[in-house]
Amino acid sequence: MKIKKQLSSIVMILVILPMISSIVIPLYFHFTSEKANFTRKFNIAKENNIVAFSEKGWKTLDRHIDTVPPDAEILIIYRDIAVVSSIKGITTGDKFNSENYFETLKSTRTDYNYQVHYFNVVDGDIFISPNLGISTIVFNNTHENSGFIISRFEISNRHGFRVRRIRRNIIFYTTLFLIEFIFIFFLRHVLKIILNSVIRLKSATENIIAGDMETPIDTAISRSEADEISSLAENLEEMRLALKESKERRSRFIMGISHDLRTPVALIKGYSEAIQDGVISGDNVRNSVALINQNAERLEEMINELINYVKLRNIDWKHTLEKVELKPMFQAFLRNMECASEVFKRNISGTLDIPDGLKISLDQNLMHRVVENLFSNALRYTKENDSIQLNAWINDNGVPVFSIKDSGIGIPKKDQKKIFELFYRSSNSRRENGIGIGLAVVKTVVETHGWEIEVRSEPKKGTEFVITMCQ
């Protein structure tokens, strides 16, 4: 989801930040203007009851102030006292007489354009006259219930407002430019990450297409890179390893079957040629034919095992599953194993700690093959008078478990992960008969049932195969 989040962030930067800037920047200039400064002073004067204006009177003054240019300085005089002022040198509470406060305003060296409004106060309400102009004021007309609203801005800077507006626009659009620059930089960064990762994945797929399964795919993607691409790289690496394993398995299959078929074929060919050429004659022919038949049967057995294994992996046999009571089934397996004890001279025993009536879904024929293959494997790798056990119990999770345990030669630790592979035989079992299919069949049956199998072994101490019959 990281790519989606990053792109969403870009959209937010592109859309939301300019909107915020278009609101914040004008507000900043508004609240830092002369008029905003005067408005704050005006509200303070109102709250502190500087003069006894009615609420309506204060609102009348407030509305009038809104008509004054934003960059103008304002002075409100009532009863010859400065009610509120934004003019430098004049503060709230300063006193004037009717003849000198205009002279005070004009005493600065700067020329101003003045607007003067006369107002009367009647019962706290204020009535404002039109603009009088400073030259037309009759000073002796002032009285205790009258006042003036004087606003001014510099004549020499009559275009100042326009200039400041232009400056504000420059600041505004510069800010937007910086935001867009940051956005483009961030977008470039994200696209670079995506592009580099895609190039890397493209190279990896080309290697796989070319048959190169040895070159690992770089999955060490930094945290700044997208989760989706990282996940894709990991999945691609898993696919490469799976293809590599499949290739290696196919090679082992060919090598295994070639090796196991070569010996009986060579014997059959050798004895047949010897009989044909007259090298073997008389009574020896009968023995040679017996050896040929023996090896032919060996070949047939190997071919049948391969056919059955392929069928097992490619045919959907799950429709044959049925509820089977476990205890009688394991009792039958144990009896068959005990019958073989005298023939093979092994000590066969077992404990079946399975409750009566417990049933589980399975294919009985395949289950028989599992037990038979594990038992045959135990017989092959144990000596006379060694022990073989069939045990079954319920684990702490309430799941049925069974095992076949022997006291044979054991399996080296380095081989334990590979013994279930087709045609694989442990390094200490090369001298034993077998083509390495039995345990592969066991693994396939167990996994297709949804069960789990575990091997516990130690060289010269024996091996135990434990199958957990998960449902």
pLDDT in tens, 35-87: 777 888 888 888 887 788 888 989 999 889 888 877 788 888 888 888 888 88
Confidence of residue 139 (pLDDT cuts 50, 70, 90): very low
Kindly report, residue by residue over 219-258, the tens digit of the pLDDT.
555 444 455 566 666 666 677 766 676 666 666 666 666 6
pLDDT at residue 25 in the model: 61
For residue 189, what are its two tokens?
């960064």
Calpha distance 304→471 (Å, rounded): 31
Calpha distance 136→62 (Å, rounded): 25
Task: Using the predicted structure, report yes or no on whether residue 330 has a pLDDT greater than 70.
Answer: yes
Mean pLDDT of the chain: 77
pLDDT at residue 392 in the model: 95
Higher-pLDDT residue of 145 and 166 is 145
Assess contact for 84 and 92: CB atoms under 8 A. Answer: yes
Burial of 381 per CB tally in 10 Å (0-12, 13-18, 19+): buried
pLDDT at residue 140 in the model: 44
390 bridge partner residues? 350, 404
Domain architecture of the chain: domains with CATH: 33-158 (no CATH), 227-314 (1.10.287.130), 318-468 (3.30.565.10)
Calpha distance 304→127 (Å, rounded): 116
Query: Which pTM value belongs to this model?
Result: 0.45
Q: Phi then psi for 429, rounded to 5 degrees?
A: -125, 15
Kindly report, residue by residue over 17-30, the tens digit of the pLDDT.
666 666 666 666 55
Residue keyed to tokens 């483009």: 184
* Residue 285: HSE in the Cβ half-sphere, 13 Å Cα cutoff: 8
